[in-house]
Structure 1
Amino acid sequence: MSDETGLQELRLGHPLVDRYLAFVGARLRLNSWLAIAFDLKVFFTVVDRDPLEVDTSAVFAFLEAQRAPRRGPRVVRLEDGERGLSARTIRRRLSSVAGLFDFLMVQGLVSHNPVPRGTLARKRRDGNRRGRALIRVPRVLPRILAPHEVDRFSAALRTHRDRAMIEAMLLGALRRCEVLGLRLEDIRPGEHRVFIADGKGGHQRWVPVSARFFATLAAYLESERPETDTNRVFVVLKGPRRGQPLSADGLDEIVSGARARAGLRHVTCHQLRHT
């Protein structure tokens, strides 16, 4: 179900799982809620059991299935040593499953959580054992673009709107959703900053941005942005959705097109904001 505010209900077809999704849906933001629902769907697709019948052996079987090589060339990533899904994805899915069983424990429906919290390692000097994470996720620095790559990518953008969005990421480190969520009243050109009304985790903040962004933004607002009732800054310029807020898919398509024209296959929105 959904209304003007967005998705209101998620169901996977099992009353206990659906009850848990209703519980977390009232407490988490939409993207986190959707991620948990998807992770649980994947888990119970692989582990074809009733939640009350899941044991640790089933969790380990799921873990092995997630770490199995994907279709295609057998490649081991240098980043995390995994052949299947990335270590971060696997850890997130196990965390989602663990959250379900924590909920069932509180409800008195299961006696313990079948998801191991870690593996025991060597003893410390005080005689206690130190736990190691079940899935080890390496800490890696973000891959950034070289200055000449930034210039090539920027030159491949076709409109002032597109350049303004990319400059918001490059010069203000805004996330994709923050760029798309900018409203006209959030722009403070005289102060060279923008207001982020709905950042990650629902946090709000002011972000200083280079004057270069505001110059490009002014060119877009003066010559490209169609008349529209929406207060979103970045809108569709052509086609049946002209004047409507630009979607995440639309921004991804813009990045993908510029990436192809510039011959930079590795460029992503995440990379742009860390450059």
Structure 2
Amino acid sequence: MALPDEPDRDVGIIELPSWGRVVATGGVVPYEVLDDDGQPIEPIRRYLRDFVAQGRRPGSVRSYAYDLLRWWRWLRAVDVEWDRATSAEVRDLVLWLQRATKQRRTARTTSAATAGTINPITRKLHPGDRYQPRTIRHSNAVLRAFYEFWIERGAGPLVNPVPLQRRSGQRPNAHHNPLQPFRPEGRLRYNPPVPKRRPRAMSDQQWKNFFGALGSDRDRALVAMVISNAARAGEILGLRNGDVDWGDQLVRVYRKGSGAEQWLPASAESFVWLRLYLDTIDTLRADDPLWWTLRHRRRADGELVRQPLNYDALRAVLRRVNDLLGTNWTMHDLRHTAALRMLRDKNLTLRDIQIILGHAHLSTTQLYLEEDPEEVIRRVHEHLLRPALNEQPAPAPPPGRAYNAADLAVLFGDQPR
């Protein structure tokens, strides 16, 4: 039987061209993908406009834009039009991502020695130069959604080039419980398996070292707030002066994804540091950002001005602390630490912790219930220091023969006491 024609590519020798770029627009659609002539790529522009209309955050738009730019570069490398793409192109892109090295704007400097290695203090993996399985899965999800958008509008290929992997002989949702939401019909065929990640928390001593390495009251207030209420980095950076309830020691955050408003408790210590920090800056209005940093103006005078603290500036704070301690902690590690601390409190239920963490599903919160390997090792060490359960105590030596005290007095005489 004749097999269908299929391109036979050597993905190992393919190099993506440095074609096109993602730019911030500041408009309704915060990011656009431009070609080499500086013109928006029309299929991507229309899709991102629809994507924003669904209520997506700017960070998600930026992430989708970069995945689609990589796809367009790949199509140019293999000489295929976007509306003629098949599952063969998606499969070959996945094969290429599994062995390719990330494209970097600048070469690594100090991080070159640690890339892809395990930090001996945190036992966390340093970011490497290879694409991780989660990156590949995200790329596949973006491409499938992009082509679903165009297929619904009668454009693009007839069949989505990112196929689903269904079990043979089974109807999707055949045994669906009407009281439960529908599950996805199947996983994407070219999705690589993802290793199960365990929440990583700081020990009490590591937290003290981390907090002691911070250089300003602003940084101390920010991380003390996160360690007490497990807010995400984007949520805590989005705080405004009017989002602080000093009387009840609450802060109002807007949840990632849904944008829902929620008040979270914070520790008294974090409010002390927050007051010390606010005493060093000018009076803020209710709608002013809470966190500020000093930056040089991009002018000849180089004057220092206050600007809202953004994620890149916060990463610079963490980078200075990590360089000082030899660690690789992130803001999300603080969130994990706060969650695991709450789990150890017998007065808090799992449902309480789910609400504080902002998880939509309880199953996500249950990931924190897994045993910490370091705690298991500590308990086993304690076990090894104790005698084995089946080990009988050594028999006591037999008592010596008793002597009559009067006889000893006759023999040795009365001894002074």
Please state which band the TM-score falls in when normalised by the shorter chain.
Answer: 0.7 to 0.9
Cα distance in 2, alignment partners of residues 217 and 22 from structure 1:
39
Q: Please, which runs of 5 or more residues in structure 1 have no aligned partner?
A: none
Which of 70, 94, 97 pairs up with 1:66?
A: 97
Identical-pair percentage:
25
1:73-222 equivalent positions in 2, closer than 5 A: 84-109=130-155, 110-118=157-165, 120=167, 131=186, 133-134=188-189, 135=191, 136-197=193-254, 199-222=256-279
What corresponds to 2:323 in structure 1? 260
Deviation at 1:202, TM superposition (A): 1.5
Q: Is the 8 A contact 2:98 2:131 kept in 1?
A: yes
What corresponds to 2:310 in structure 1? 247
Q: Is the 8 A contact 2:101 2:130 kept in 1?
A: yes
| Alignment deviations for residues 30-54 of structure 1 (CA, whole Å, 9 cap, x no partner) | 1111111110101121222221110
Cα distance in 2, alignment partners of residues 24 and 205 from structure 1:
25
SS at match of 2:263: strand
Q: Is the 8 A contact 2:231 2:335 kept in 1?
A: yes
Which of 288, 292, 312 pairs up with 1:235?
A: 292
Q: Is the 8 A contact 2:31 2:62 kept in 1?
A: no
What corresponds to 2:362 in structure 1? none
Partner amino acid for 1:98? R
What corresponds to 1:43 in structure 2? 71
C-alpha spacing 1:143/1:216, structure 2 compared with 1 (3 Å): same
SS at match of 2:251: strand
What corresponds to 2:281 in structure 1? 225
Q: TM-score, normalised by structure 2?
A: 0.57
| Alignment deviations for residues 58-90 of structure 1 (CA, whole Å, 9 cap, x no partner) | 1101110111153799979999xx993111111
Q: Is the 8 A contact 2:30 2:58 kept in 1?
A: no
Cα distance in 2, alignment partners of residues 26 and 51 from structure 1:
23
Q: Please, which runs of 5 or more residues in structure 2 have no aligned partner?
A: 1-23, 35-39, 103-111, 119-123, 175-184, 297-302, 338-417
Cα distance in 2, alignment partners of residues 20 and 119 from structure 1:
27
Partner amino acid for 2:207? V
RMSD after superposition: 3.2
Q: TM-score, normalised by structure 1?
A: 0.84
What corresponds to 1:22 in structure 2? 49
C-alpha spacing 1:234/1:241, structure 2 compared with 1 (3 Å): farther
C-alpha spacing 1:84/1:56, structure 2 compared with 1 (3 Å): same
Deviation at 1:94, TM superposition (A): 0.7
Cα distance in 1, alignment partners of residues 247 and 283 from structure 2:
24
| Alignment deviations for residues 154-202 of structure 1 (CA, whole Å, 9 cap, x no partner) | 0000111110111122112111122221111111121121011464431
How many residues are matched?
266
| Greater C-alpha radius of gyration | 2
SS at match of 1:242: strand
Deviation at 1:247, TM superposition (A): 1.8
Partner amino acid for 2:66? F
Partner amino acid for 2:82? P
SS at match of 1:243: strand
Q: Is the 8 A contact 2:163 2:188 kept in 1?
A: no
